[in-house]
Amino acid sequence: MKKPPMNRTLKARASSMRKDMTQEEKKLWYQYLRYYPVKFRRQRIQAPFILDFYCAEASLAIEIDGSQHYTDYGRSYDQWRTNHIEREGISVLRFSNGDIRDRFDGVRIMIDLTVQKRMKELEKKQ
């Protein structure tokens, strides 16, 4: 079955986001995910959203949340967005900018444990 054409606006936005990553996204990408043994992609389109990081093999999205995510609206929107993404079979793992800055080792451990767990879960389903 042929995939529908990619939304040009989303594609342009994802490309722009890859070029202008936040400091926390850069840290996570360049100091960990870029070299992680299971492949991750940056700003991957999962219409109608753009995921900060995505691992297809583990069907895992990683989202890095700045301060705007901690308003009432931000929390509500994130919950709605997460529910939508999870209905597609993708697990969502969220970290705050502070987690990346101040608890980076813990973030790396959590990502690794989650990737391993997800891969085992998906393997069992096959």
d(CA 120, CA 125): 9
Q: At how many degrees (to 10) do helices 23-31 and 104-125 cross? A: 60
Tokens linked to 104: 């980076």
Query: Is the pLDDT assigned to residue 1 strictly greater than 60?
Result: no
Give the pLDDT score at 48.
Answer: 84
Sketch the domain layout of the chain as residue ranges. 8-125
Give the pLDDT score at 46.
Answer: 85
d(CA 118, CA 97): 24
pTM, to two decimals:
0.84
Class of domain 8-125: alpha beta
Give the pLDDT score at 104.
Answer: 97
- The alpha-helical segments, DSSP class H, found in the chain are 8-19, 23-31, 72-87, 97-102, 104-125
Q: What is the pairing mode between strands 60-65 and 49-55?
A: antiparallel
Q: pLDDT tens across 22-61, in order? A: 999 999 999 999 999 999 999 998 878 889 999 999 999 9
- Cis omega before residue 5 (within 30°)? no
Give the pLDDT score at 20.
Answer: 76
Query: Is the pLDDT assigned to residue 111 strictly greater than 90?
Result: yes
